[in-house]
Amino acid sequence: MTTEAKVRVLHVVESFGGGVLSAVMNYIASTPATEHHIAYRVRQGEYVPSGELGQFASATAFGESNFAAPHAIRQIVDQVHPTVVHAHSSLAGAFVRMGTLTTRRRRIVYTPHCYAFERRDIHFVKRLCLEFAEWCLAFNTDTVAACSNRELELAKRGHPRLKVVLVPNISAAPPTSDQTRDPDGGVSPRVVTTGRVSPQKDPHFFAQLASSLREDSPSVELTWIGAGDRLLTDTLLKAGVSVTGWLSRPDVWTQLRMGTVYVHVAAWEGFPLSILEAHRIGLPIVARRIPALADAPTDWVHDSPERIADAISLLAKSSEARRQNSLHWDAYLRGNSSENQATSLTVLYNMSPVR
C-alpha cells in the first residue's frame, strides 16, 4: 500500500452556494487513492447537493449555528479520525481552527477560496479585524493551500511561519454532449455569468453592464446563472437580466453553452472557477480588473462596465477577436491543469506536520 492510500482527508464546507463544492469535487478526482470524507452544512436558500455527496466515504452534516459549529466539527473529526482536516472558505477555516487542534497525527489544511479581509463591502476597520483573526488562527494551521497566486502572496504576507502551497483551481470536464462552439459573427450577444447573487459578485456592476450593452445592442440577452440575495436579485431583474436560480451542474453547463460571451465582474475573488469552466467549453471571456486577476490578459480585463461592454461587442462581431481571446486565456490558464493540481494535492496531503 502506498503512503497516499493511507491518507484520510475530512473536507469541511460551510456553504455550497459558490464554487467551493466544484473545487472539492475536483480535489477528489485529482487524488483517487486518498480517502475523502466531508463535514458540511447547507445554508437556507443555497444550492443543495444531491449525488455529489455519494462520492465521499462519509458525509456528515453540522447545524446552522455558527456558535455551535466548532464543537460539532470537532465531534465529526473524532468520529472520522482524519489525517488531514481540510477547511474550505474563511468561515469554515475559523470553525475548524477554533475547535480542532493540529497535532502530529492530524494536520489542518486551509484553503480560503478568497480571504474574508479581501471584502470591499465592509469598513476597512472590520477588514483589519478579519486580517488579525487570520493571523491568530494561523498558529493552529499546518498548511495554507492557496488557490491562486494572489492567495499565495496574502498567506505568506500574513504569517511567515506557515507552510504555503499553491493548489491551482481547475475545471471539471463538461458532459460529453457539450462541444466547443464558436458563435457566428454579427449575432446579438448572449452574455452569461455564474455565481451566488451577493455583494462579492457585484450584481450592481452587472446591471450597469447591461445598460451599457443595450446602448449598442438593444436586443442583447444577459443571464445570471445562480441565486442569492433577494434585493440584489431584484436589481438584476429590473435591469433586464435573467436569473436562473440554483441549477444542477449539468444544467449549469447547458446554460453556459447557450452563451456567446462569459463575463466575470466580481469585486473580489480567490480564483474564479467559472472562468476556467467557460474557457473549457470555448466561450470568449471578459473580466473585471481585480487583484486576483492582476496578471490576466490585459486586452480582456477592464475596470468599467463601459469598457467591458466594448470588449463584448467586439467579440460578438469578430471571429479574429474571439480567436485572439482564446489564445490569450489559453496562455494565462496554462498552469490550471489537472496534472498540476494532482501533483500539488499529492504533495500537500502527504506532507509531514509542522509540529
Q: Using one digit for the tens of pLDDT, what is the confidence trace for 200-231?
A: 999 999 999 999 999 988 889 999 999 999 99
pLDDT at 311: 97
> Cβ atoms within 10 A of the Cβ of 255, count?
18
- According to the CATH classification, is domain 190-332 in 3.40.50.2000? yes
pLDDT at 44: 76
Cell numbers standing for residue 148? 491562486
Look at residues 121, 154, 119 and name the one whose alpha carbon lies nearest to residue 138: 154
pLDDT band at residue 4 under the 50/70/90 scheme: very low
* C-alpha to C-alpha distance for 135 and 120, rounded to whole angstroms: 19
pLDDT of residue 1 exceeding 50:
no
pLDDT at 159: 78
20-30 vs 338-349: helix crossing angle, rounded to 10: 80
Which of 60-74, 151-165, 213-227 is predicted least confidently?
Answer: 151-165
Cα Rg, the chain, nearest whole Å? 20
CATH hierarchy code of domain 4-170+337-349: 3.40.50.2000
Query: What mean pLDDT value characterizes the chain?
Result: 91
Look at residues 327, 271, 324 and name the one whose alpha carbon lies nearest to residue 294: 271
Tens digits of per-residue pLDDT, 79-124? 999 999 999 999 999 999 999 998 888 999 999 999 999 999 999 9
* C-alpha to C-alpha distance for 45 and 226, rounded to whole angstroms: 11
* C-alpha to C-alpha distance for 195 and 178, rounded to whole angstroms: 20
Asked whether the domain spanning 190-332 has the same topology as the one spanning 4-170+337-349, the reply is yes
Handedness of CA 334, 338, 340, 341 (dihedral sign): positive
Domain residue ranges of the chain, discontinuous segments joined by +: 4-170+337-349, 190-332
pLDDT at 184: 53
* C-alpha to C-alpha distance for 276 and 267, rounded to whole angstroms: 18
pLDDT of residue 51 exceeding 90:
no
> Cβ atoms within 10 A of the Cβ of 104, count?
9
Residue 209 buriedness (CB in 10 A; 0-12 / 13-18 / 19+): buried
pLDDT at 181: 52
pTM: 0.89
What is the H or E stretch that residue 166 is in?
Answer: strand 163-166
